[in-house]
Amino acid sequence: MILWWWLACAPSEAPPEAESPDDTSTQAQPTADSTPTPRTLRVVTWNTGTTEGLPHDAEPDDGYSSADATLSDTWYGDGLAWQPAVDAARAWLSATDPDLVAFQEMFLSDDCAGIPPEAHADFVCATWEPGDDPVVLDILGPAYQVACHLGKSDKCLAVHERVGTLRGCEGRLCLDGLEGSTVEGCGSGSRVGLGTLDAVGLSVVTVHGTSGLSPDDQACRTAQVEQIFVDLGDGAPAVRGPSNLVLGDLNTDPGRFAGFDPSAARWLDFAGDGLPFQFHTEIGEDAPGSYQGLTDIDHVLSDALDGSCWIAGVSEGHPEVIDAVYFDHHPVVCDLTLP
């Protein structure tokens, strides 16, 4: 959802295009015993939500109006639920062919049971029936397994079968399938989730930081950073290796906001020059702007992988997911080589 509080505070070269996913020399390859041993992972972090605070009634009419935005906010939690956007997300993911995807603000279709018929038109609830795949499985297809944060079905990690399965997750969808814990005083559920891919020796940590500008909001985000690098809540950091990947919507911009937001500064205690973790996404005043082209709050970092990233709708040669005014974040894509 939109972060107007950052727009008032934020100071006012596209990376090289990644190799095509059709280049099988860098994609996951099975060994003789069928154990996945990928050399390069294509990873995506994507806040698929929307907000009322965009110019939805701007000309020309793109099919998504301010009235639709009100329905989305009232009934769908601004998660991915408008059918044309769902269709566009499915097509984009098919073309992008990621190995790992961290989603934020994903609508859970089972919630359609509590949404009145008058709020169904043009949304997924118009055709939903009990037993249908939820949106996250629908847009990915049968080759992916999905596990979500504890108590947060809108925040999920998807893994393609070519890189194995998530430890402790059986079946295609595991709600509450990622390790994590609640930060006291920062709402319910976990905003940091840990998934373990034993087949490739990788801990994957997904994060969706608390939104807001207040001291309490900043303190919550700081505690969430510490869950990743200090103590997830079980006495050990979420990054527990041997290799670690962290990705998600930080809800702060470490490259622009560290001077006035302690949570942004806390990221820089663990990632940067001379530190164990490095940002693969750009940070700084000249970074391209994954959030409405204005700030960079969607990031990918690791302690052992190497590669480059691009942003759909921002980086040259990579168009928007959809022409309609709907998404307020651009998906970030990184091609990263395992050690």
The string of pLDDT tens digits covering residues 85-132 is: 999 999 999 999 999 999 999 999 999 999 999 999 999 999 999 999
Phi, psi of 29 (to 5 degrees): -125, 135
Phi, psi of 332 (to 5 degrees): -105, 130
Q: How far apart are CA 337 and CA 318, in angstroms?
A: 21
Tokens standing for residue 303:
């302690």
Better-scored residue on pLDDT, 34 or 247: 247
Mean pLDDT of 254-267: 97
**Residue 201 — pLDDT band, cuts 50, 70, 90?**
very high
CA 128 to chain CA centroid, Å, is 24
Predicted confidence (pLDDT) per residue in 185-197, tens digit: 999 999 999 999 9
**Residue 59 — pLDDT band, cuts 50, 70, 90?**
confident
Predicted confidence (pLDDT) at residue 283 exceeds the cutoff of 80: yes
Query: pTM to 2 decimals?
Result: 0.89
| Least confident stretch, 40-54, 105-119, 264-278, 281-295 | 281-295
pLDDT of residue 119: 97
Whether the Cβ atoms of residue 337 and residue 307 lie closer than 8 Å to each other: yes
CA 187 to chain CA centroid, Å, is 19
Whether the Cβ atoms of residue 230 and residue 237 lie closer than 8 Å to each other: yes
pLDDT of residue 233: 97
**Residue 23 — pLDDT band, cuts 50, 70, 90?**
very low
Predicted confidence (pLDDT) at residue 27 exceeds the cutoff of 70: no
**Residue 33 — pLDDT band, cuts 50, 70, 90?**
very low
Whether the Cβ atoms of residue 271 and residue 287 lie closer than 8 Å to each other: no
| Mean of all residue pLDDT scores within the chain | 90
Predicted confidence (pLDDT) at residue 170 exceeds the cutoff of 50: yes
Q: Name the residue with tokens 């998504």.
A: 64
Tokens standing for residue 152:
């947060």
Predicted confidence (pLDDT) at residue 13 exceeds the cutoff of 90: no
Q: How far apart are CA 305 and CA 173, in angstroms?
A: 27
Tokens standing for residue 250:
């930080």
Sequence letter at residue 142: P
For a pLDDT cut of 70, what percent of the chain falls above it?
Answer: 89
For a pLDDT cut of 90, what percent of the chain falls above it?
Answer: 86
Mean pLDDT of 66-95: 98
Domains annotated on the chain, with CATH: 37-337 (3.60.10.10)
Q: How far apart are CA 139 and CA 68, in angstroms?
A: 21
Q: Which residues contact 59 (CB under 8 A, 6 or more apart)?
A: none
**Residue 60 — pLDDT band, cuts 50, 70, 90?**
confident
Predicted confidence (pLDDT) at residue 53 exceeds the cutoff of 50: yes
Identify the H or E element spanning 196: strand 192-197
Q: Which residues contact 22 (CB under 8 A, 6 or more apart)?
A: none
Predicted confidence (pLDDT) at residue 294 exceeds the cutoff of 90: no
